[in-house]
Chains A and B, each alone.
Chain A
């Protein structure tokens, strides 16, 4: 049984008052996400990421298709007991303190008063909210609200968490903090589904990603597979290489580029078509020493840009999606 499963999930909105027209927000999204995965849901602004998350939270209803979480239909109260959700740019009751908000949400899960206090306190510690926890939320900055939002998503110790742009509004320290938190959740066996347009977050955290553009899924798979198929060459770092030996090698071995790293120390880039063993043997014979040999992958950003650029654009009308 998958932790999250969608089958041809589709959402059309109606736009226009006098002449209502359908607008494609999400088209036939099919995903399977296993237990314990950290799954990155990527796409540019307006790709349909937030629409997908709202469908999974049943904040909006699908035009067609089906979605399940933990083997049950989305919106089922038993499912809600076992999941957590951080909305994009979260807003909570500004007349409550952070502590009160968490205790209120904890009460909705049926926790006792002592348990509510314990969970609220532990989670606010975990997301780095200190003495401010007794201030009303109207006095909180965007980053602090984001931390409270993450804490409330974890109030029930969920099996699956959905984070919509979890790094939004956070400073570098906060981002690092939340990355570590996501990794801790993964280590506890929690499935994490997060949407982002910040690719470095996905690259650092995800085991698998899906890329969405213009409401359509353009690619999905393990990060290692996606990037492995796009090895674009080799990087060879050597020391003890004289300029003469380098010039000789460049003229004969098809080296695409050489970067001087220090005295007689170079990083050489070879195209995928040239096996590195032959050049390496030549360089060693010329007195050079191998420091490292690595395949050159595309970054997720390279891959993302290519996929999004290739996605079909026609989808109806102007954007209303998140």
Chain B
């Protein structure tokens, strides 16, 4: 287990020394800040615009980081042959995979925290000096703690994306891994439609196939509570807990697959 920690710290160190990552985070923070200006152009929707744009920025740039770092995690080590030096140290292959995963999750955690801090700073500025009457018109307060639950679920979603990217990275190149991960992410957002497929088709086989795919493919929609939170609607704690549980179990299965493939792999 100690090896996993050391490998994870090294992944984190690689990320913080990567200028591309800084650019992504800087761009995200800038976009969150710009949301304040956009909010000024709307009448009565200012806070909603900031929250929508802020949460969307965190989700989108987090996704970019998870995919573009995740797809290179294993591939880069194999392609550049740095894996020869590492795997001959007293570590097991599954520790290597888990270390890489934990390292990227740690990186995402820190970056999401930075974006969240920028988001709350903009919200605090927006709410500063606003009179009580205007406040009452808002569906939720600017510094609404419920936003944190939406951000937490974004982070759990990113953990799942990371697991999938890492899985593909164990046997394919970065381009294919990026396409497959992004493809699954898009499909995963329409997963609920697969469940309802049986209501619109006659064929029993097609209905079963759709039902099978619904369970097999990741359901990313389950992590999206942004709209409810922005509108000030209550999201049940049990729903959040179940989503988090799903976001733990699915990556665990994906990582098990990644370890199974990686453990049998020849590094020519």
Residues of A within 8 A of B (CB): 13, 54, 57-61, 77-78, 80-81, 83, 85, 87, 89-93, 95-96, 104-105, 107-110, 149, 152, 320
Contact = CB atoms under 8 A, between A and B. Distances in A.
Most buried by B among A81, A96, A320: A96
Given A108-B89, A109-B89, A93 B268 contact: no
B234 interface: no
B267 A54 contact: yes
A54 B252 CA distance: 30
Interface string B68-96: 00000000000011111111111110000
Contact of B266 (A61, A77, A107): A61
Interface string B11-43: 001100110000000000000000000000000
A241 B184 CA distance: 91
Given A92-B82, A95-B14, A108 B3 contact: yes
A57 B267 CA distance: 11
Contacts of B14: 93, 95
Contact of A80 (B84, B89, B264, B268): B89
B84 A59 contact: yes
B10 interface: yes
Most buried by A among B3, B17, B91, B268: B268
B136 interface: no
A95 B92 CA distance: 24
B88 A80 contact: yes
B13 to A, nearest CB: 7
Majority SS of interface residues in chain A? loop
A81 B90 contact: yes
29 contacts: A54-B84, A54-B268, A57-B84, A57-B87, A57-B88, A59-B83, A59-B84, A59-B87, A59-B88, A59-B266, A59-B267, A60-B267, A77-B91, A80-B89, A85-B88, A87-B81, A89-B81, A90-B85, A91-B82, A92-B85, A93-B10, A93-B14, A95-B13, A96-B10, A104-B6, A104-B10, A108-B86, A109-B89, A320-B268
B204 interface: no
B84 A85 contact: yes
A103 B146 CA distance: 43
Contacts of B84: 54, 57, 59, 85, 87, 90
Nearest to B2: A110
Contacts of B6: 104, 107-108
Most buried by A among B17, B85, B88, B89: B88
A67 to B, nearest CB: 14
A5 B47 CA distance: 71
A54 B2 CA distance: 25
Nearest to A60: B266
Contacts of B89: 80, 105, 108-109
Given A57-B84, A87-B84, A87-B85, A13 B10 contact: no
A160 to B, nearest CB: 12
B88 A91 contact: no
Nearest to B83: A59
A59 B6 CA distance: 21
A152 B85 CA distance: 8
Contacts of A110: 2
A81 B92 CA distance: 12
Contacts of A85: 84-85, 88
B79 to A, nearest CB: 10
B91 to A, nearest CB: 6
Nearest to A50: B268
B5 to A, nearest CB: 9
Given A104-B10, A108-B3, A93 B88 contact: no
B154 to A, nearest CB: 28
Nearest to B92: A77
Nearest to B3: A108
A85 to B, nearest CB: 4
Most buried by A among B87, B92, B264: B87
B88 A60 contact: no
Given A59-B266, A60-B266, A93-B14, A80 B85 contact: no
Nearest to B15: A95
A93 B7 CA distance: 12
A133 B18 CA distance: 20
Contact of A149 (B2, B85, B90): B85
B90 A77 contact: yes
B85 A105 contact: yes
Nearest to A81: B90
B153 to A, nearest CB: 32
Nearest to A321: B268
Contacts of B10: 93, 96, 104
A104 B83 CA distance: 14
- Counting from the closest, the 3 A-B pairs by CB-CB distance are A87-B84, A60-B266, A80-B90
B266 A91 contact: no
B94 to A, nearest CB: 12
A107 to B, nearest CB: 5
A83 B264 CA distance: 22
Contacts of B268: 13, 54, 60, 320
Contacts of A104: 6, 10
